[in-house]
Structure 1
Amino acid sequence: MELKGIHHVSAITANAKDNYRFYSSVLGMRLVKKTVNQDDPSMYHLFYADEQGSPGTDLTFFEIARAGHTYTGNQSISQTSLRVPDDEALAYWLDRFRQFKVNHEGMGEQFGRKVIRFRDHENQRLVLVSDQTNQGVASGIPWTNSAVPQDKAITGLGPVQLTVPDISPTARVLTELLGFRQVGSYPSRNKGMPDVEVFSTGEGGTGAELHVELSSDLQKERPGRGSVHHVALRVDNRAELEKWHEKIRRERLPNSGLVDRYYFQSLYFREPNGILIELATDGPGFATDEETEHLGESLALPPFLEDRREEIESRLEPLDTK
């Protein structure tokens, strides 16, 4: 059994319309699924990805209309990366961010790669990372109808950063339980802190890394709009997911058991520092109930919610995504 890389990252937004405007119009990502939180159908769940909604390219958002400010802190998923083809693409994004007045830090470097750290309109902590030197997990397929040129477009998820008060228990879960390899480190941006540790799985590269940083912050992050709820890792199929469930159960980590999300099968658990990790299968995918060319245009509901469509739609603010 080997995890194949990052599957998706799920975050929180307070306003689906503003969220759609930023991620579709400014970042040029494709909305591939407009659905609801299956555990609370009163809120939207929006999925942005590549042209085909490929696993490893999904950045998703739960709309919590009254979500307050995020108070950043420890025990958190503190940074999400988005991949672009090369260093030249980053130069394009610097101009685009200036055009749209996106808060950013200019060009930088992280683990030998060129990056741009930036924030969305809700202070979501994001990074554009260049695939110039990537030799690992392949990127996704740029969206044909994006406002961003295809050779500059976002092609998937890059490294995800975890911030913890003690790296050791998280590192043990990643390496001994999940099969990640520790492949290096780089200096922390927090003065006086040890290097950020880099863990890789599957084919490795930008689409298969978790970066774990130590923080002396005594405050646990208080999530709100702009915070990340969980990170999901790629599992090939349900049979393999069942084996992971047994392995995690033997480890006595709190977990959800297998959950049918219709577009993929899932298993959720918390590692010792309290960070929520999901294991999710690559299929069946987002084209299960919509044609690929029309992904994200209509409200999609899994079969077990379809008989509640009228009730669900009446509680949602209309969101035009055609």
Structure 2
Amino acid sequence: MKTRRLFFALAAGAALLAAVGQASAQQRPIRLIVPYAAGGPIDVTARALAERVRDSLGTVIIDNKPGAGGNIGADMVAKAAPDGLTIGIAATATHAVNPWLYSKMPFNAASDFAPITQMVRVPNVLVMNAETAERLKIHNVAELIAYAKKNPGKLNYGSGGNGSAGHLAGEMFKKEAGIFALHIPYNGGNPAQLALLSGQVDFNFDNLATAAPNIRSGKLKAIAVTTTQRSAALPDVPPVADTLKGFAIDTWWGLVAPAGTPPDVVGKLNQAFVAALNAPETKTRFGALLAEPVGNSPEQFGAFMKSELAKYEKVVKATGARVD
């Protein structure tokens, strides 16, 4: 009898330990790798979502791994175990531009990730120095193109450097419009904007969040946004696409897991994060950053990233920009 009671006690103890172990495994935190430094818009939006999915997914820990244009952090996601406990941010740079900009990539943007959902779209905006725009009588995209064609070689534009978003947008604009404007690269977005404000360059393609204060103060004139639809932040400013059909070159980022993550795990993550993105509080918080929440299916986000990768191949190759 003692032996039998001991057996049942050991069996019960083993069952209890198994249950505790299973509960602990289910409660393990999710690691969300942000391939950029803390404090920027991508980091801020990731932290906001991590707070909102706590009830459905448990603790989500933000792990910032900046460097190499986002490639270091993205590579860590690609090489993580496909168990749903490590996810990360895919952005325009890491999954659309860098594969064509860098001569060697540590990961394959097209095959090493399982899409979860797009998070955000941030419009870029075509801006001119307000005094320059008035002097040249340029108030819209059509007038800018007409001036460039009548005055070949007289316009220039600035950007945060070769291969930057502003550079690629400028080259795409030139190609679609059939015009020439000299590209002047600066060491970062802030110096490029200062050059525009001081009249050293004629126009820039800038991030809306960065340009907005000077647009509101009247120092910069917003000519057009680069999304296919108007931005709620600048409802009176038309898209470039109203003049150049199909023109779209905005900033985006979203969530991905390592390739091979089970579909049911991806589905659970998608459901939680899309619900968080659709919450009114999220829209308000993201709106303060001039970022538009975008929640979609894994299939939709995957197709979108594939199309962006193809689009930027042509744009980057046209510029000749490379990072060795």
Structure with greater Cα Rg: 2
Q: Name the structure with the higher helix share.
A: 2
Q: Name the structure with the higher strand share.
A: 1
TM-score, normalization by structure 1: 0.24
TM-score, normalization by structure 2: 0.24
